[in-house]
């Protein structure tokens, strides 16, 4: 049984040594030392080459080393090859930390106070209690739920939106396209934690922003493709959106003359919301390989028809 990793050098060696220690029956190879391509059954990467199934004729499973698989061209892979995303608990922990940082910063007006400091200006705004701050999360999957749970102890008024109906304690849940506008109407602070699919591409657009209460704040932790970048500039210009914190962009890094770099009401971070760590992800990856060996369903398997 052979597993080929195509990941950065530092993590490649960590993965290999974890398998050598805990699962020596699985041979790990590191790209570009692929050996005999016909021996590769499992492939793990952030972004595999397009002709993967041609290069590796006996490939059975592609493991994404990320929580999202939008960077994969699923249509190019034959149906018999399963695609499985990463459910690393370390990713959820990273997202929880980022969400708390971003929500608390926006809730406590930190962007405004940092601006004031630059202008040597000392002025307070009324303190809004957390229970009066309505925080809504788009995407109630692994990460959306972890984000909401982490915000509960602060007492925020929480809601969430997904494709299917959900019941989450302490969270008003909305579902489907029909409930998107009612959901947005009650979000002072909107967090995007959706997967990028044909249905969600461009979902953070002028219509969405118009449905939010005036002066709402936006956090995009999903993918750059969720956001129509020019619509955000327009919404910031009218004050419809007061502040945005963006971890992901269409082009990463953005061009040097991208208007977001110097925008006074946009904070940018270079896609650091969460990163897969071999230490925390290994157990699940190995468990999925064992499940595959036993003919059982793997955790995080992608449903090709919906794309996530
Ligand atoms: P999941 O697949 O567990 O959850 C996805 C959620 O989105 C589900 O609740 C799903 O609804 C909902 N959803 C999907 N399509 C639609 C739609 N058309 N309308 C409404 N809701 C929809 O994903 P994760 O929580 O694990 O990850 C979410 C995304 O976070 C990833 O795909 C990735 O893009 C991003 N991410 C970003 C990182 C960063 O560093 N910034 C790090 C890791 C992930 P339902 O429950 O009904 O199926």
Mind listing the pLDDT tens digit for each residue in 93-128? 999 999 999 999 999 999 999 999 999 999 999 999
- Any ligand 1 atom below 6 A from CB of 99: no
Catalytic residue among 11, 223, 226, 292: 223
Q: What is the mean pLDDT of residues 27-36?
A: 97
pLDDT bracket for residue 47 (50, 70, 90): confident
Ligand 1 centroid to Cα of residue 297, in Å, is: 20
Q: Hey, which of 139, 249, 274 would you mutate to test ligand 1's pocket, going by the most ligand atoms within 8 Å of its Cβ? A: 139
Is the Cβ–Cβ distance between 57 and 2 less than 8 Å?
no
State the DSSP string of 29-42: EETT----GGG--E
Share of the chain above pLDDT 90, in %: 96
| Domains by residue range for the chain, with CATH | 2-88+276-294 (3.40.50.720), 90-268 (3.40.50.720)
Ligand 1 centroid to Cα of residue 306, in Å, is: 11
Order across the sheet with 82-84: list the strands: 27-30, 2-6, 42-45, 61-64, 82-84
The CB density around residue 113, as the number of other CB atoms within 10 Å, is 15
- Alpha-carbon span 199 to 197, nearest angstrom: 5
pLDDT bracket for residue 48 (50, 70, 90): confident
Mind listing the pLDDT tens digit for each residue in 218-231? 999 999 999 999 99
- Beta bridge partners of residue 43, listed in sequence order: 4, 62
Residue 271 among the catalytic residues = yes
Is the Cβ–Cβ distance between 14 and 279 less than 8 Å?
yes
Q: Which two tokens stand for residue 163?
A: 């494709």
Contacts 24+ apart (CB under 8 A), 159-162: 159/134, 159/135, 159/183, 159/186, 159/187, 160/136, 161/136, 161/137
Query: In 3-state terms, what secondary structure has residue 142?
Result: helix
Around 224, how many Cα atoms within 13 Å sit in the side-chain half-sphere?
15
Q: What is the mean pLDDT of residues 133-140?
A: 98
CA-nearest of 22, 140, 275 to 3 is 22
Q: Hey, which of 162, 173, 176, 205 would you mutate to test ligand 1's pocket, going by the most ligand atoms within 8 Å of its Cβ? A: 162
């Amino acid at each position: 049984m052979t597993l080929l990793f195509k990941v950065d050098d530092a993590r490649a060696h960590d993965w290999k040594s974890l398998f050598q220690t805990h699962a020596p029956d699985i041979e790990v190879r590191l790209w570009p030392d692929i050996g005999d391509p016909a021996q590769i059954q499992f492939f793990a990467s952030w972004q595999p080459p397009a002709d993967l199934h041609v290069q590796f004729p006996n490939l059975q499973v592609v493991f994404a080393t990320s929580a999202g698989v939008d960077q994969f061209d699923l249509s190019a892979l034959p149906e018999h090859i399963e695609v499985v995303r990463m459910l690393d608990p370390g990713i959820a922990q990273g997202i929880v930390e980022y969400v708390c940082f971003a929500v608390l910063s926006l809730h406590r007006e930190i962007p405004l106070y940092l601006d004031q400091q630059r202008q040597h200006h000392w002025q307070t705004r009324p303190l809004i209690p957390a229970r009066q701050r309505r925080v809504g999360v788009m995407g109630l999957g692994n990460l959306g739920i972890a984000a909401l749970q982490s915000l509960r102890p602060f007492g925020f008024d929480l809601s969430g939106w997904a494709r299917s109906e959900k019941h989450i304690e302490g969270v008003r849940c909305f579902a489907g396209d029909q409930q998107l506008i009612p959901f947005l109407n009650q979000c002072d602070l909107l967090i995007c934690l959706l997967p990028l699919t044909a249905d969600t591409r461009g979902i953070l657009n002028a219509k969405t922003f118009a449905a939010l209460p005036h002066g709402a704040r936006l956090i995009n932790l999903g993918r750059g493709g969720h956001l129509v970048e020019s619509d955000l500039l327009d919404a910031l210009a009218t004050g419809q959106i007061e502040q945005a914190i963006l971890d992901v962009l269409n082009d990463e890094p953005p061009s040097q003359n991208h208007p977001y770099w110097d925008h006074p009401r946009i904070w940018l971070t270079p896609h650091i919301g969460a990163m897969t760590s071999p230490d925390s992800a290994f157990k699940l990856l190995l468990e999925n390989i064992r499940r595959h060996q036993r003919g059982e369903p793997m955790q995080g398997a992608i449903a090709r028809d919906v794309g996530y």
